[in-house]
Structure 1
Amino acid sequence: MLGLAFAILISVGIPIMAFLYACKKRRLIPFLLGMVAFVVSQVMLRIPLLDFLDRNSTDYIFFSLSHPFLFATFLGLTAGLFEETARFVAMRFFMKQREWQSGFLFGIGHGSIEALIFVGIPVLKYAFTATFNPFGAPFFIGGVERFFAIILHIGLSIIVLQAVVQRKIVYILVAILTHTVVNAIVGILPLYISADDAVVVIEVVLAVVALAVFSYTIWIKRKGIFE
């Protein structure tokens, strides 16, 4: 039950608290734009496109089976390209508030809707429909993963905002590369180590990268990049 409660706290509680915080700080638009960027880039574009290829392209299926390392890298790259491009478009053309806090809330919005769709709603459905399961480890791991994913999305959003403010495409490329590496690792590690070990290593890598990227955004905030 503790694992289930933790997963709900992260994947449902954080989105609700972030929404209320955005309203209080009068930064609701950046928060909502972050959510829209994820929904458009992943739910409406990337995932349907990959599903279409999986159903209709024998070359795509052959590539996924014969070159699993490259396929995992490809999936990571598409995630990075779609999401970071969506962030840039949303910030460049629709977000007028471009200070650090707006980037922060954009990232929470982006990460929160992802957490809600892929973990929060399924976990809530399980909580209300399934029989009691005393083993909460999968839920706890899911909550940990979503927590650090939100931290990563905050960091990547601020890096992309830096690209918009300073008009330097290199920061978009950094965000795409970082996103690609993290997502690719999820598919690559299980090819070489056991599933249980892969879960632990993936979570550690995600945590380290997320904290490193977020620490960088704190540094640029102190440098006064957005002032």
Structure 2
Amino acid sequence: MADMPGAIIISIVLPFILFGISIGRRRAPVFLLGVSTYVLGLLVIRLHLPDHLLGRSRMLEIWQMRHPAVFSVLIGSAGAAAGELLRFLVMFLLLKRKTWQSAVFFGTGQGSAEALLLVGVPAVGALISPSIPHHPDVYAAASVEQLSIVMMQIGLSVLMLQCIRRWDWRYLAAAVISHTAIVTMVGFLPFILHPAHQLAAILTVFIAGGLLLAGYAGIAIRRPGGENDHPAE
């Protein structure tokens, strides 16, 4: 597996390369819109909402203690569904040029922001600060996970664009189900597998999900009529 520098290349260098490509393709605002959407989702959905719900409901606290596996899966699934609804709203309301390229760079921006914030920044901190635990293998695995997530975000954004351009809610449902299924499997695996096998299984889920969604995006764009990248403003 890649070492620490490899993790930094994937989680820091690659996002800036992708941003540079978006500038060259005149899609930098779309890339940054994807970044902003991820940050908003991280702050509201992943960090604030679970704490807010637990603070308001004693029943949820009891459920979390008695059924940690089910609780983890439900919270993750709800977050995935909420994230896809947020993606829909942002792309529908704020994405001016609703084109295939825009969908790809929007998803790339989301995935890049996640890689940079969740892996890149901690990896740099571990390198420059002796007080932060240094686990190259963990960061290397996380970078592979984030690379898969970039592909997932692209595929999910293409699905959402199809929903918006065709006004077909089946694509929104497919995005929600796909995202929820991946998060559910990842959340449940640690409760049913031996610790020695958990990391490999989780990476397998992310890689498979990323390849399937990115593959779908490629097929959708290249199918008859898909290459006509006309804006639907």
- Paired residue for 1:21? 21
List alignment gaps of at least 5 residues for structure 1: none
CA distance in structure 2 between the partners assigned to 1:157 and 1:118 by the alignment = 21
CA distance in structure 1 between the partners assigned to 2:138 and 2:189 by the alignment = 18
CA distance in structure 2 between the partners assigned to 1:92 and 1:133 by the alignment = 42
TM-score, structure 2 as length reference: 0.90
CA distance in structure 1 between the partners assigned to 2:12 and 2:79 by the alignment = 23
Deviations 1:150-197 (A, max 9, x none): 111111111111111111111111111111111112221111111220
Task: Report the number of matched residues.
Answer: 227
Deviations 1:33-88 (A, max 9, x none): 11111111221344211122344532112112222342132122222222111111
Does the CA contact (< 8 Å) of 1:190 and 1:198 recur in 2?
yes
- Paired residue for 1:113? 113
The one-letter amino acid paired with 1:123 is A
CA distance in structure 2 between the partners assigned to 1:146 and 1:220 by the alignment = 23
The one-letter amino acid paired with 1:24 is G
- Paired residue for 1:79? 79
Does the CA contact (< 8 Å) of 1:158 and 1:217 recur in 2?
yes
- Paired residue for 1:68? 68
CA distance in structure 1 between the partners assigned to 2:89 and 2:12 by the alignment = 27
The one-letter amino acid paired with 2:182 is V
Corresponding position: 1:225 with 2:226:
yes
List alignment gaps of at least 5 residues for structure 2: 229-233
The one-letter amino acid paired with 1:36 is S
- Paired residue for 2:35? 35
CA distance in structure 2 between the partners assigned to 1:58 and 1:220 by the alignment = 46
Alpha-carbon distance change, 65 to 134 in structure 1, aligned in 2, over 3 angstroms? closer
TM-score, structure 1 as length reference: 0.92
- Paired residue for 1:210? 210
Question: Cα distance, 1:20 vs. partner?
Answer: 0.7
CA distance in structure 2 between the partners assigned to 1:70 and 1:133 by the alignment = 30
- Paired residue for 2:181? 181
Give the percent of matched residue pairs that are identical in Structure 1 and Structure 2: 28
CA distance in structure 2 between the partners assigned to 1:13 and 1:173 by the alignment = 34
- Paired residue for 2:231? none
Root-mean-square deviation (CA, aligned residues, Å) is 2.1
